[in-house]
Amino acid sequence: VQLQASGGGLVQAGGSLRLSCGASGRRFSGSVMGWFRQAPGKERTFVAGIDRNGGSTDYADSVKGRFTISRDNAKNTVYLQMNSLKPEDTAVYFCAAGEFVYWVDFLKRTTSYNYWGQGTLVTVSS
């Protein structure tokens, strides 16, 4: 699976962005998908994850109620709708695919994912 993230940019605090991650290959619908982010000088952290059919999701506490992950298996695309953005959301956002994850609790683990996209930068100004 090859992943291509897009949709990042500069937005004011309180604004919204929608990230997209397109996947090539036939493994997309057989993979759980996740979004992670990495702020300058910090480790990569979990943001949101979704199971294969979109029926189960998980979110980091810091984004619950503001971000929504979704997927369209017909389009091989996963989305991250980000609302009420805060300056602390500034980071490079990465999408990832995991073929061998079968429990929702594992969506938040970086080790659950075996394919990663290149990242898209989100900058939230105050």
Q: Tokens 């075996």 identify what position?
A: 114
**CA–CA gap between residue 126 and residue 114 (Å, rounded):** 35
Give residue 102's pLDDT. 86
Q: Which residues contact 111 (CB under 8 A, 6 or more apart)?
A: none
Q: What pLDDT does 3 receive?
A: 95
pLDDT (tens, 9 = 90+) of the chain, 126 residues, equals 899 999 999 999 999 999 999 999 778 888 999 999 999 999 999 999 999 999 999 999 999 999 999 999 999 999 999 999 999 999 999 999 999 988 889 999 999 999 999 999 999 999
